Chains A and B, each alone.
Chain A
Amino acid sequence: MNNAQRFFNNLNFTVGFILSVVVILAAVTSLIWTPYDSNKINAKERLQGPSWRHPLGTDQYGRDTLSRVMKGAVNSIIVGLITIAVGLGIGVIIGLAAAYYGKIVDEMLMRLCDLIFGFPAVLTAILIASILRPSIVNAMLAIGIFYIPVFARLTRATALSILAREFITAARAGGVGELGIICRHVLPNILSPLIIQGSIQFAVAILAEAGLSYLGLGTQPPNPSWGLMLNDAQTFLSISPWMAIFPGIAIAWAVLGFNLLGDGLRDTLDPKMMKGRR
């Protein structure tokens, strides 16, 4: 009870929580019900603006935009979860290795991270899509790879500071094995920064998926994805601007929500880190 109150005393957390819950609710609802079949073509009602029948209008095939935006939320959430799993899993191992071995291993791994991080995720995604095929799974792979350095750096920095502490030396002297030290002492201590970073990367994943789907490298038609809907809208900017407006708002909404949630988590969990990020 006390804990929850602590979180909700934070404005960032509260706003972020509300925005995110709306997204999650829309996603869950769409699994059971949407106003229209999100993929059903209706030639008679194409390219409509907002109306009572179609609150967010329709696209060039007459598909209901509201239904598609709702379904798109499911897509974005799945992408966020899986990419974080990929980035976290590999990033933590690399970060620990760099911190643990130091020297040239550290230098190489960190420069490699610079490179992966600096190297455009889009280009990686294009290459992956060309070798395999454009699909949402491959887009997730590309975003996940991009996340590896993010988590690796964070893990390395935190791990370095922990490994330098006295209790580690004490544990070593006490005969605790190296693996034991990492599992028992290092990992638990880096958990909270990882959770905070995770919620922020969740938001970044939604942005990245939108970008890749916009290029046609992510979610495949006819399934709705916010980025793909923006791609469809591109040639209708002057004919039916609504097509480009609502999916964009959906993206901004969701990203804002998860970003604020992450900031709020950080403010509450780790008051020392209360500062801007990135």
Chain B
Amino acid sequence: MSRYLITKLITLILLLFLVSITVFSVLFVLPGDPAQIILGINATPETLENLRSELGLNQPFMAQYLDWIGNLLSGEGNRSINYDIPVSELIISRLKVTGPLALLAMCFAILISIPLGIYAAQHQNRPTDVLVMFFTQIGLATPDFWLGMLLIMLMAVKLGLFSAGGFPGWEAGFWSSIKALLLPAFALGMIRASVLTRLTRSSMLEVLNEDYVKTARAKGVHERGVVYGHALRNAMVPIITIMGLQLGQLVAGAIIIENVFYLPGLGRLVFQAIGQRDLPVVRDIVLFMAAAIVIINILVDMSYVYFDPRIRHE
């Protein structure tokens, strides 16, 4: 297990190093002078030059790269050009929106998909199963941001039950914030639920046909016990894999839905930061996202051992 962890850790570090070099190079050649974007189109060349040297933009590639990594490693961190506050602060404040949004979306997805998938598997090829599968097909085909727009039209514009977007901030009250996240989380969750329902169904079907399940049935274990005690736990491996993947994508990639609902999340921050050439912010977030994705993958890998004792990591 410890050797396994060490291998994973080394891969993580190597990958992050690779990502950091890539991101840095990409942003280095990114056209668009941050100084000019900050100062606007009527700024004089002299002012531009002064700001450039203040931001360290005149330094050579390696010096800038080492400066960036050095700041990260020393724990000093980098500062946003725009907000003039540490990037870590910015990331944390945005994670307070994106994190709960992703979790809420996953909650919707799991609450809908696991029972529905099990139900469909138990009723394989019967009309109810076909119906469930039909709806998951529709779910797979619907863009989540379009579902978001439809929800806005129905719940906000027509019925006036929700606001059409924006986020009040957690200090404005827990429930009003949750309410602002409900529609986007639902839109995100429904689409992911379709994937998970299908997966749960197929995974369950496979497991239900395995010998040990048949044995358990033969031994007279109650059907409910078979399904939830034996089968589900074993069927969880592929489900967890996909859930991990989805969670990673939600943390990093809710950019479109954050745009539809105008939520100040991580996705919007990076979208904005690229546009405004707030390069320290872009670099740090990309690195953060990469780390999050790889770590979630490792955690998912490790969870296999729990769900399927047959899997052992060497």
Could you tell me which A residues sit within 8 Å of B by CB distance? 107-108, 111-112, 114-115, 117-123, 126-127, 130-131, 203, 207, 210-211, 214-215, 227, 230, 233-234, 237-238, 241, 244-245, 248, 251-256, 259-260, 275-278
Q: What count of chain B residues pass the 8 Å CB interface test?
A: 56
8 contacts between A and B (CB under 8 A): A120-B289, A203-B140, A210-B146, A215-B255, A233-B149, A238-B153, A251-B146, A275-B205
A248: contacting residue among B137, B150, B201, CB under 8 A: B150
- Which residues in B have their C-beta under 8 angstroms from that of A277? 198-199, 202
Q: Any chain A CB within 8 A of the CB of B271?
A: yes
Name the 9 nearest CB pairs between A and B, nearest first: A120-B253, A276-B202, A276-B198, A118-B293, A275-B202, A255-B141, A256-B141, A248-B146, A118-B248
In the assembled complex, the Cα of A275 lies from the Cα of B121 at a distance in Å of 11
Known: A123-B289, A207-B143, A233-B149. 14 other contacts (CB 8 A): A117-B245, A118-B248, A119-B293, A123-B253, A123-B267, A126-B270, A131-B26, A238-B153, A238-B157, A248-B146, A252-B143, A259-B137, A276-B199, A278-B198
8 A Cβ contacts from B237-266 to A: 242, 245, 248-249, 252-253, 255-256, 259-260
- Which residues in B have their C-beta under 8 angstroms from that of A248? 142-143, 146, 149-150
B134-147 near A? 1/0 per residue, CB < 8 Å? 00011011110110
Question: Is the beta-carbon distance between A260 and B137 smaller than 8 angstroms?
Answer: yes
Q: Any chain A CB within 8 A of the CB of B195?
A: yes
Contacts between the two chains (Cβ within 8 Å), count: 145
- Which residues in A have their C-beta under 8 angstroms from that of B30? 130-131
B11: contacting residue among A108, A233, A237, CB under 8 A: A108
Q: Any chain A CB within 8 A of the CB of B90?
A: no
- Which residues in B have their C-beta under 8 angstroms from that of A251? 141-143, 146
Q: How far is the CB of B174 from chain A (nearest CB, A)?
A: 28
In the assembled complex, the Cα of A139 lies from the Cα of B191 at a distance in Å of 22
Interface centre among A214, A276, A278 (most CB of B within 10 A): A276
- In chain B, what residue has the closest Cβ to A257? B141
In the assembled complex, the Cα of A194 lies from the Cα of B294 at a distance in Å of 26
In the assembled complex, the Cα of A266 lies from the Cα of B134 at a distance in Å of 17
Could you tell me which B residues sit within 8 Å of A by CB distance? 7, 11, 14-15, 18-19, 26, 29-32, 137-138, 140-143, 145-146, 149-150, 152-153, 157, 164, 195, 198-203, 205-206, 242, 245, 248-249, 252-253, 255-256, 259-260, 267, 270-271, 274-275, 286, 289-290, 293-294, 296-297
Question: Is the beta-carbon distance between A211 and B297 smaller than 8 angstroms?
Answer: no
In the assembled complex, the Cα of A241 lies from the Cα of B32 at a distance in Å of 37
Q: How far is the CB of B122 from chain A (nearest CB, A)?
A: 15
B14: contacting residue among A108, A123, A207, A215, CB under 8 A: A108
Q: How far is the CB of A127 from chain B (nearest CB, A)?
A: 6
- Which residues in B have their C-beta under 8 angstroms from that of A245? 150
- Whether A122 touches B294, Cβ cut-off 8 Å, given contacts A115-B15, A234-B149, A248-B150, is no
B206: contacting residue among A130, A215, A275, CB under 8 A: A275
- Which residues in B have their C-beta under 8 angstroms from that of A256? 137-138, 140-141
- Which residues in A have their C-beta under 8 angstroms from that of B19? 115
Question: Is the beta-carbon distance between A126 and B141 smaller than 8 angstroms?
Answer: no
Question: Is the beta-carbon distance between A230 and B146 smaller than 8 angstroms?
Answer: yes
Question: Is the beta-carbon distance between A244 and B270 smaller than 8 angstroms?
Answer: no
In the assembled complex, the Cα of A48 lies from the Cα of B240 at a distance in Å of 47
B271: contacting residue among A126, A210, A237, CB under 8 A: A126
Question: Is the beta-carbon distance between A119 and B7 smaller than 8 angstroms?
Answer: no
In the assembled complex, the Cα of A127 lies from the Cα of B290 at a distance in Å of 15
- Which residues in B have their C-beta under 8 angstroms from that of A107? 7, 11
In the assembled complex, the Cα of A275 lies from the Cα of B30 at a distance in Å of 45
- Which residues in A have their C-beta under 8 angstroms from that of B297? 111, 114, 118
Q: How far is the CB of B285 from chain A (nearest CB, A)?
A: 9
Question: Is the beta-carbon distance between B274 and A126 smaller than 8 angstroms?
Answer: yes
- In chain B, what residue has the closest Cβ to A253? B141
A203: contacting residue among B18, B141, B198, CB under 8 A: B141
Interface centre among A112, A252, A254 (most CB of B within 10 A): A252
